Structure 1
Amino acid sequence: MTRFRPLLAASLLLCPAWAGAAAIDATQLSPLWGVPFAGILLSIALCPLLTPWFWHHHYGKVALAWALAFMLPFAALFGVQAAGGALVHVMLEEYIPFVILITALFTVAGGIYIRGNLRGSPALNTAILAIGAFLASFMGTTGASMLLIRPLIRANDDRTHRAHTVVFFIFIVSNAGGSLTPLGDPPLFLGFLQGVDFFWTISHIFPETLFLVGALLLLFYALDWFYYHKREEIRPVDPTPDTRGIGFDGARNFWLLAAIVGLVLLSGFWKSDVVFHLAGAEVGLPGLVRDIGLIVVTIASVRITPASVHEDNQFSWGPIQEVAKLFAGIFVTIVPVIAMLRAGPEGPFAPIIAAVTRADGTPDPAMYFWASGILSSFLDNAPTYLVFFNTAGGDPQRLMTELAPVLAAISAGSVFMGANSYIGNAPNLMVKAIAEERGVKMPSFFGYMAWSVGILIPLFLVMTFIWFR
C-alpha cells in the first residue's frame, strides 16, 4: 500500500477534510491515473465519427464507464469511504453548482423567442455575433449562446452553408465575448471569489478582447460574404414563414435572467462564516443560497413560459442532458489530473510548471497564456485557471498590481482558448447539439479543431507578441 500513498495524498489535496493532520505529498502521483480522463476525451472525439448510432444512444453510459474506471480502482485501493468522499466533494463543490447554473441559463434563455424571419445576410449574421459578444460578458457565455443561437440558425435556414456560422458563433459568443467580467465565464468568476476586483479584467484585457473579437468578426464577414454570393447558396423555399416585425415572446424571462445575474453577484460579494460539511465537502451559505435561488428561477421559467414559445424555439432538454452527462464524467475523471497539476514542480507535470517560469525565476506571461490556454482547451477551464492563479503566487493584490501581466495572461488564456475544442467550455457542446438538432451538419471533434487551429491559433500568436511578451 505504501507505493499508492501519493494517489491518496493527491485525492486528499482535492478534499482537505480527509487529510486531518497528515502531511500531503502528491509528488509521486503516477500519470496513469489520468488514463480515464484521456479515455473520455478520446470517446467524445472519436465515437461520433466511428460509431455515431451507438454514441447518440449511449454517450451517458460511456461517460459513466470512464468515471467508474477511476472510481472503482480508487475504492479498491483506499476503501469505499474515501472513494465516496471524493465523489461527494467533486459533485457538491464543483459539478452540481456548475450544472445548476448552466441549466438555469439554458432554461431561461430558451424561454425567450425572438419573433420574425430574419434574413441571414453577411451583415445581419455579423451583427448577431457582435451583439452576442457584448451580451456574453454580462449574462454569461451560456446565457448569450442560448438566447441567440436559435434565431441565428433560423435566420440561415434557407442557406446551404451554415456550419461556419455556428463555428464562429462558438468562437465569439460562447467564448471570447465572456472575457470582460466575472459574470462572463466561470474562470473569471472563480478569480472574483479569490479576491480579484470585479472590473479588473475589463480594465486589463479589453484591448486583447477587442482585437480577437474584431478580427474574428472581420474574418467571418469575409467568409460568409463568399458563401452568400455562391449561386447555389440560397434555397428556393425559406423554411421559416414571413411574419410582421421583430419582437420577443416570453419576455418575462428577461427578469429571470436579471435574477440569475443578481444571484451570482450575491454569492461573490456576500461573505459568511456559515459552512455546511458533508463527507468532507464544504458548502458555504452564499453558494447554497445561490444554487437554491437558481433552481427556483429555473422552475419559475418553466412555469411562466407559454408552451407556444418553447414550441417556436424547438426547445428540448437534449442539449443540457448531453452536457450534464458528459461533464459528470469529465469532472470525476479530471480529479487526478488536477491533482497532478497542483503537485507543482515536484509532480508529474513539472515540465508544465517549469515552462511558465523564466531562467531568473520570474513568471513568463507568454507561457502562462499558452499553458493555461492549452490546458483549458481540453480540461475544465475553471480549475485550470485556479491552478495557474496559485502557481503565480495566489495573492490577488500582488497579481492585480505587480504581476498584472501574468494575471491578464492567465485570464485571457483560460477564456479565449476554451474555443479550441468542443469540450473547452460547456456552451460549445450545447450550441453544437442545438445546431445538429436543427439539421446543421457540424464538423466532427477533429474537424472543429481544424477550424480552431487554422483561425484561432494564428490570432493567439499575434496576441502573444503584442501583449504577453
Structure 2
Amino acid sequence: MTGRALRTLACVLGLVAPLAGHAAELDGRALSAWWGLPFAGVLLSIALFPLFAMRIWHHHYGKITAAWALAFFVPFVWVFGPSLAGASLVHALLAEYIPFIVLLTALFAVAGGIYIRGNLHGSPALNTAILAIGAVLASFMGTTGASMLLIRPLVRANDNRRHKAHVVVFFIFIVSNIGGSLTPLGDPPLFLGFLKGVEFFWTLRNILPETAFMLACPLVLFYALDSWYFRREGVLPVDPTPDTPRLGFDGGINFVLLLAVVGLVLMSGLWQSGVVFDVAGTPVPLPSLVRDIGLVGVTLLSLKLTAAKVHADNQFSWGPMVEVAKLFAGIFLTIIPVIAMLRAGTEGPFGAVVRAVTGPDGQPLPAMYFWATGLLSSFLDNAPTYLVFFNTAGGDPQQLMTALAPTLAAISAGAVFMGANSYIGNAPNLMVKAIAEERGVAMPSFFGYMAWSCAVLVPLFAVLTFLFFV
C-alpha cells in the first residue's frame, strides 16, 4: 500500500483500537457476497494488470491495492461501526499480516546475503542435482529463499547452453513451489496454517508421500528432457562465464542466521506459555511476540554482517519484498469478510462453494478440496487461497489435523503444488522469471509457461488425486 494509505489506516486504527477490545465477532451470515468484491478486485488486479497494463501496474500497484483496501474498509467502518471494524483490522494485522511479512522478510534477507561463487557446467546430471537440492532447501529456507539462492548459479551454469528456458521452468516447478510443501517455513500458505494452529511437523508427517511423488516424477522427466537437449545441441564453443579457481560461498554467516530463523519458528510452535497480551481484543501470545522480534533481529543482523560486495554480486534489492508487502497488506485486509462468510458454511453467501466441496453426508471431499484450492492457487495467490479453504473446511486446526486430516492434506498440497501452474501462482515464480530474463534466458510468455505446466504437471496432479485423495 502507499505511504499515504498506510498513514490513513494507522489513523483509523488509532481511533478505533480503544473501542475494539470488546467488539463482537463478524457474523458472515449477515453479509452480502458483494463484500467480497474488494478481495476479488485485489486478486484480479494482481493477475490481469501485469498481462494487459504492465507499465501502469509497475508504477501504481501500491495505489491500486490501497484503493481496493479502502473500498472495503471505509464502508465497513460506516456500516458496522468503528468497534467491530477496529477489532477486525487489529486481528488481521497482528495475528496474520505482520508475522507473515516478518518471516518472509527474514528469509529474503538471509538468502540475499549468501552468494554461491564459481562456475559450474550445466550437464543434465548437475542440473537435476541442483533442482533436487533446491527442493530440499525450499522446505527449510522457504521457496523464496531457496529460489533466490540457487537461480543465479543455475543460470550461470547453463549460460553455455543454446536452450535453457526449460531448466528455469522446471526450477520454478520444483524449487519455487513443490519443494516447499513439508514445513511452515517452506511456503506462505503453510505458515498461515501454522499461525492458525497447525503443528510445525504436521505437513511433513501427512503429505510426505504426495510430495515425494510430485518431486520424483518431474525430476525424472526433467533429466530425460535435458539429456535429449544436451545430446542434440551440445554446448556453445565459448563459455560466457570464465572458470574460477574454486567453488564456494560468500556471506556464510547467513547460514547461521538461517538456523536462527528455523529455531525461532520452532520455538514459537513448541513453547507453551500462559502469558498472552491483549492488544485491542487480539490475543498475542508471548512465544509469537518473541519469534517476531527475533526475526526482525535476524534481518537486521544479516544486513549488518553481510559484506556489500555479496549483495552486489547477488544483485540484491528490496524491490520484490516491498511489492509483496504492499500487495499482501491489501489482501489480508480485504479477505476479512470473505473468511467470515466462509465460516458461516452453508448458511452464508458462499454456501454453494461449501456444498461443492462437501459430500451428501456432510463430510468434506478431499479430491474436490485439492482441485478447488489448487485451481484458484494457480491464478490467484496461494496464501489467501489456502486461508479461504482452511476456513471453508471449518477453520478448527485440531479437527483438521485429526478427523479431517485428508482434507487439510488436500488443501495444503493443492495450494503449494498448483502454485506452479502459472507465473502468478506464487511470488517466487515471477522473481525467478525476471532474474533469468536479466541473464539472457528467453523465458516463455504467460501462456507459453502454462503450456509447460499443463503438459507436465496437470497429468501428474490427476494421477496424484486418484492415488491419495479419492
Length-normalised TM-score, structure 2: 0.85
Equivalent residue number for residue 466 of structure 2: 465
SS in 2 for 1:114: strand
Equivalent residue number for residue 281 of structure 1: 282
Equivalent residue number for residue 28 of structure 2: 26
Equivalent residue number for residue 427 of structure 1: 428
Deviates more, 1:291-300 or 1:329-338: 329-338
1:85 shift after superposition:
4.6
The alpha-carbon distance between structure 1 residues 85 and 357, as it changes in their structure 2 partners (threshold 3 A), is closer
Identity %: 72
Kept in 2, the 8 Å contact 1:48–1:444? The answer is no
Kept in 2, the 8 Å contact 1:319–1:434? The answer is no
SS in 2 for 1:135: helix
Does 2:232 match 1:218?
A: no
Deviates more, 1:384-393 or 1:92-101: 384-393
Query: 1:175 and 1:76 mapped to 2: Cα distance?
Result: 40
The alpha-carbon distance between structure 1 residues 162 and 72, as it changes in their structure 2 partners (threshold 3 A), is farther
Kept in 1, the 8 Å contact 2:21–2:87? The answer is no
The alpha-carbon distance between structure 1 residues 235 and 315, as it changes in their structure 2 partners (threshold 3 A), is farther
Equivalent residue number for residue 45 of structure 1: 47
One-letter identity of the residue aligned with 1:142:
T
Query: 1:410 and 1:340 mapped to 2: Cα distance?
Result: 18
Equivalent residue number for residue 144 of structure 2: 142
Kept in 2, the 8 Å contact 1:136–1:174? The answer is yes
Query: 1:19 and 1:420 mapped to 2: Cα distance?
Result: 42
Equivalent residue number for residue 71 of structure 1: 73
1:351-390 Cα distance to aligned partner (Å, 9 max, x none): 2211222223333221222233334445554555455455
**Unpaired runs of at least 5, structure 2:** 1-16
SS in 2 for 1:244: coil
One-letter identity of the residue aligned with 1:331:
F
Query: 1:380 and 1:47 mapped to 2: Cα distance?
Result: 14
Equivalent residue number for residue 320 of structure 1: 321
Equivalent residue number for residue 414 of structure 1: 415
1:268 shift after superposition:
0.8
Task: Name the count of aligned residue pairs.
Answer: 453
1:350 shift after superposition:
1.3
The alpha-carbon distance between structure 1 residues 241 and 88, as it changes in their structure 2 partners (threshold 3 A), is farther
1:310 shift after superposition:
1.2
Query: 1:431 and 1:412 mapped to 2: Cα distance?
Result: 22
Query: 2:160 and 2:135 mapped to 1: Cα distance?
Result: 24
The alpha-carbon distance between structure 1 residues 420 and 340, as it changes in their structure 2 partners (threshold 3 A), is farther
Equivalent residue number for residue 248 of structure 1: 249
1:59-112 Cα distance to aligned partner (Å, 9 max, x none): 222222222222233344345665555443322222221111111111111111
Equivalent residue number for residue 3 of structure 2: none
Query: 1:313 and 1:199 mapped to 2: Cα distance?
Result: 32
SS in 1 for 2:28: coil
Does 2:346 match 1:345?
A: yes
1:135 shift after superposition:
1.5
1:330 shift after superposition:
2.3
**Unpaired runs of at least 5, structure 1:** 1-14
SS in 2 for 1:283: strand
SS in 2 for 1:361: coil
1:229 shift after superposition:
4.9
Query: 2:72 and 2:399 mapped to 1: Cα distance?
Result: 38
The alpha-carbon distance between structure 1 residues 33 and 346, as it changes in their structure 2 partners (threshold 3 A), is same
One-letter identity of the residue aligned with 1:107:
A
One-letter identity of the residue aligned with 2:102:
I
1:266 shift after superposition:
0.7
SS in 2 for 1:334: helix
Equivalent residue number for residue 169 of structure 2: 167
One-letter identity of the residue aligned with 1:181:
T
Query: 1:327 and 1:429 mapped to 2: Cα distance?
Result: 16
Query: 1:110 and 1:204 mapped to 2: Cα distance?
Result: 31
Equivalent residue number for residue 310 of structure 1: 311
The alpha-carbon distance between structure 1 residues 404 and 55, as it changes in their structure 2 partners (threshold 3 A), is closer
Alignment of 1:444-459 (within 5 A): 444-459=445-460
One-letter identity of the residue aligned with 2:32:
S
The alpha-carbon distance between structure 1 residues 301 and 74, as it changes in their structure 2 partners (threshold 3 A), is same
One-letter identity of the residue aligned with 2:248:
G
Query: 1:390 and 1:70 mapped to 2: Cα distance?
Result: 20
The alpha-carbon distance between structure 1 residues 279 and 447, as it changes in their structure 2 partners (threshold 3 A), is farther
The alpha-carbon distance between structure 1 residues 244 and 128, as it changes in their structure 2 partners (threshold 3 A), is same
Kept in 2, the 8 Å contact 1:352–1:371? The answer is no
Query: 2:158 and 2:25 mapped to 1: Cα distance?
Result: 59
Query: 1:332 and 1:23 mapped to 2: Cα distance?
Result: 15
Equivalent residue number for residue 14 of structure 2: none
1:116-155 Cα distance to aligned partner (Å, 9 max, x none): 1112233222211111111122232232222212212222
Does 2:131 match 1:123?
A: no
SS in 1 for 2:425: coil
2:115 to 113, 116, 134: 113
SS in 2 for 1:27: helix
